Structure 1
Amino acid sequence: MPYAFSLDDVAFLASPEGEEAIAACSELPLTGATRIADVATARRVVGERYAAVLETVELRRKASVKFADPRGWLFTGDALQQASAAPVARHRAARLAGRDVHDVTCSVGADLVELAATARRCVGSDVDAVRLAMARHNSAQAGVSPLLVRADALRPVTRDCVVVADPARRDASGRRIWRPGDFVPALDDLAGVYADRDLVVKCAPGLDASAVPWARELELVSLDGQVREACLWSAGLASTARRATVLRSDGTQWTVTAEEPDDVGTGEPGEWIVDPDGAVVRAGLVRQYAARHGLWQLDERIAYLTGDAPPPGVRAFRVVEFGHYSEKELRATLRRHDIGRVEILVRGLDVDPNTLRRRLKLSGAGEASVVLTRIGRTPTAFLCRAERIPV
């Protein structure tokens, strides 16, 4: 079970003495094999607050995948799990720059600090006093000073500002919740309470857009090739029905929208296979992306694209040869090319890449990528070389 922080814990951890205690335990391995010894060491060095200190050390380590520098930050386990990665939160905040913004589920402040950096005025609220205390500390760490207030998200305490919400999507046992009506607060309740406001709601990427008819824009956001979230924008903020935003940790980004041309056809394989970013696929914008880059589809129901020149900045697959797929034929092709290490990508076929890789029993010296898909009713295998295309 995750540690349940108290307000006294937060006060201690935010103090100079708390930071000294965290620093004293920061080099402990905290593995399954060392846990008993590490707890004993922490008890001896820190005293009665040892559990809060060890939990903070572990959470800061986990936070490094979402924050460039989580040193000095305080988290709860659940809050960190749901927090947006900093580049994703920064992107959303940039769309609201210069506005008055109220984050009504601010939690420990991961999104709030980015909003506060760009908004004209910024308010954060939460029902959880511990998370609110952490948000106050984290805001100070980030050098911003939003107004913080303890309040229920469904009981407005501000007027005339954009409302941002990130409903809880796990139940008390930690299991993921999929139905928007079961979120806390529920999406329809948020939309009803803030019907007269501009509303932005962060959700999981698997959300069914038909379940939220009030949303006028559905934005899918990926970071470094991984789809991170869906974001719902109400009528006053929407500029397209569907948007895919692709972010990179190096600060580069691009977007494609439903308003762009989608006049592409299907055709024979070109020199390259392109697997569009997951945000593009989930947003239903594969054809728009293809049209932008002069690509076409192998099959109108499959997201793989093909062409003679891949888009800049992507990892694409140069076709070496292709033909009808069967496990026997694929094994023979890979052995003929002396392939011993293979990456397998699949769309449209009931094939598990890991299971297939084991069954191929390859022993060659080379490596390759295999793209398995269906063209019409024909299962097809492409032997490829993966290449990173320069920007």
Structure 2
Amino acid sequence: MGYPFTLDDVAYLRTPEGEAAAAEVERLPLTPASHLADVTTARSLFGARAGALVETVLLRRKASAKVPWRDWLFTADALQQATPWPVAVSRAARLAGRDVHDVTCSVGVDVAAAAEVARRVVGSDIDPVRLAMARGNVPSAAFVRADALHPATRDTVVLADPARRDASGRRRWRPADFTPPLDALAAAYAGRDMSVKCAPGVDPADVPWADEIELVSLDGAVREACLWTGTLATAHRRATVLRSDGSSWTLTDASDDTCPVTPIDAWIIDPDGAVVRAGLVRHYAARHGLSQLDEHIAYLTGPVPPPGIRAFQVLEHGKYTEKSLRAALSRLSVGRAEILVRGLDVDPNTLRPRLKLRGPEEASVILTRIGRTPTAIICRASRHDVETSALSLRHGG
């Protein structure tokens, strides 16, 4: 839950006095080992303001992994749900030149991203503290206190990020339990262009009003699903893959999905989670000249992996039994093994000690099903780029 900020706290933190006090608290280490002593120091310096100051400093430190600003205000819950900046920027790109209303603006991350490209941006929230923080965080936007289910603007693109945790912090999985519920949100803005942030596990059957479902990953981790409606939708299913270095690519169900099923080749490729969750594995394979090992399994294979991904160079493979896998790893002197499982009922943590690994080598073990055959593929993982692809071809790898 975190510190319960008040409107008075927000007003103080935005004054020159509050900013100077926060800078003073920032000098404290505030590590787990020093926390009690540091809080005592803060209280001796700033009295009743110490709680808000310490929480602000701690949240700003955590926020550095998500957003580029060092002077923003957050609540703990708002930071936890805040969209990582590269994801917010990617979503905002579709809003260029439009009038935009973020109806669940919280402390303003998505408002700030939209403000960089949109014509006008309005943010609203039911929580007065978050709204006060947002006003200071994004002074270029307009803000109003309003319930997301009661439209406060007309003729604007609607952004929404319903809360997916209850008052105790437990995650809620059913769209009907979000705040506000997804169906109620869609009904309130029927006929409007919408962009709704959602959990990546959303079932398309639960959101029949969404014209496009986009799965978004950042640095290999699937971060969200985004539901698009109206003229904002440009496909039915989309995977968007982002990197913190600014690179990105996207794939939609409009692309070719012609993909054969072949025996294991020189490399195994595990597509990005956004591709898998968007149901675009065959489309990804077709784009990069890869094949499926099994039409129901998401692992792909080919002579050369796509550049810029982590891929697995095949050392050997065969029918999986625990005994045969243990013997193969012993023969290869593997003492450390990453175990990846898809399509088999195998617990890597239970299996690993039974393999009795010994030796100086490392390997990745992929356990999967090809047809009805349980299969073990022993690999060497590598980060693949254009140069390593060329080297592999020159040496016949």
Whole-Å separation in 2 of the counterparts to 1:355 and 1:14: 53
**Greater mean alpha carbon deviation, residues 27-36 or residues 278-287:** 27-36
1:119 and 2:121 aligned: no
Shift of the alpha carbon at 1:236? 2.2
Shift of the alpha carbon at 1:94? 0.5
**Greater mean alpha carbon deviation, residues 121-130 or residues 347-356:** 347-356
Contact residue 108 and residue 138 of structure 1 kept, 8 A: yes
- AA in 1 matched with 2:51: A
Contact residue 262 and residue 290 of structure 1 kept, 8 A: yes
* Other-structure match for 2:277: 282
Whole-Å separation in 2 of the counterparts to 1:280 and 1:176: 24
Indicate which of 136, 148, 151 corresponds to 2:143: 148
* Other-structure match for 1:30: 30
1:41 and 2:41 aligned: yes
1:73 and 2:72 aligned: yes
Q: Cα RMSD between the aligned structures?
A: 1.3
Contact residue 217 and residue 243 of structure 1 kept, 8 A: yes
Shift of the alpha carbon at 1:360? 2.3
* Other-structure match for 2:189: 194
Whole-Å separation in 1 of the counterparts to 2:96 and 2:333: 55
Contact residue 191 and residue 214 of structure 1 kept, 8 A: yes
Whole-Å separation in 2 of the counterparts to 1:13 and 1:148: 19
Whole-Å separation in 2 of the counterparts to 1:79 and 1:36: 25
1:21 and 2:21 aligned: yes
Contact residue 192 and residue 230 of structure 2 kept, 8 A: no
1:131 and 2:130 aligned: yes
Map 1:295-334 to 2 at 5 A: 295-334=290-329
Shift of the alpha carbon at 1:29? 3.6
Contact residue 59 and residue 75 of structure 1 kept, 8 A: yes
- Taking only the aligned residue pairs, the percentage that are identical comes to 68
TM-score normalised by L of structure 2: 0.95
Shift of the alpha carbon at 1:154? 1.2
Map 1:101-250 to 2 at 5 A: 101-140=100-139, 145-250=140-245
- The structure-2 alpha-carbon separation of the partners of 1:360 and 1:18, relative to structure 1 and needing over 3 Å to count, comes to farther
Whole-Å separation in 2 of the counterparts to 1:152 and 1:298: 50
**Greater mean alpha carbon deviation, residues 124-133 or residues 14-23:** 14-23
Indicate which of 371, 380, 383 corresponds to 2:378: 383
Contact residue 102 and residue 161 of structure 1 kept, 8 A: yes
Whole-Å separation in 1 of the counterparts to 2:264 and 2:63: 43
Whole-Å separation in 2 of the counterparts to 1:36 and 1:100: 48
* Other-structure match for 2:4: 4
Contact residue 106 and residue 125 of structure 1 kept, 8 A: yes
SS at the partner of 1:218?
Answer: strand
- AA in 2 matched with 1:28: L
- AA in 1 matched with 2:207: V
Shift of the alpha carbon at 1:361? 3.0
Whole-Å separation in 2 of the counterparts to 1:329 and 1:57: 54
Whole-Å separation in 1 of the counterparts to 2:128 and 2:168: 21
Whole-Å separation in 1 of the counterparts to 2:191 and 2:201: 27
The alignment of Structure 1 onto Structure 2 pairs a total of residues equal to 386
* Other-structure match for 1:254: 249
- AA in 1 matched with 2:133: M
Contact residue 268 and residue 298 of structure 1 kept, 8 A: yes
* Other-structure match for 2:83: 84
SS at the partner of 2:255?
Answer: coil
- AA in 2 matched with 1:38: D
Whole-Å separation in 1 of the counterparts to 2:103 and 2:281: 34
* Other-structure match for 2:392: none
- AA in 2 matched with 1:285: L
SS at the partner of 2:48?
Answer: coil
- AA in 2 matched with 1:86: W
- AA in 1 matched with 2:30: L
TM-score normalised by L of structure 1: 0.96
* Other-structure match for 1:335: 330
Post-superposition CA distance 1:34-86 (Å, at most 9, x none): 3322221110122211111111111112112212x331011001111111100
**Greater mean alpha carbon deviation, residues 335-344 or residues 73-82:** 335-344
SS at the partner of 1:48?
Answer: helix
Contact residue 288 and residue 306 of structure 2 kept, 8 A: yes
- Structure 1 unpaired stretches of 5+: none
Contact residue 98 and residue 119 of structure 2 kept, 8 A: yes
SS at the partner of 1:196?
Answer: coil
- AA in 1 matched with 2:25: C
* Other-structure match for 2:390: none
SS at the partner of 2:216?
Answer: strand
SS at the partner of 1:259?
Answer: coil
- AA in 2 matched with 1:71: R
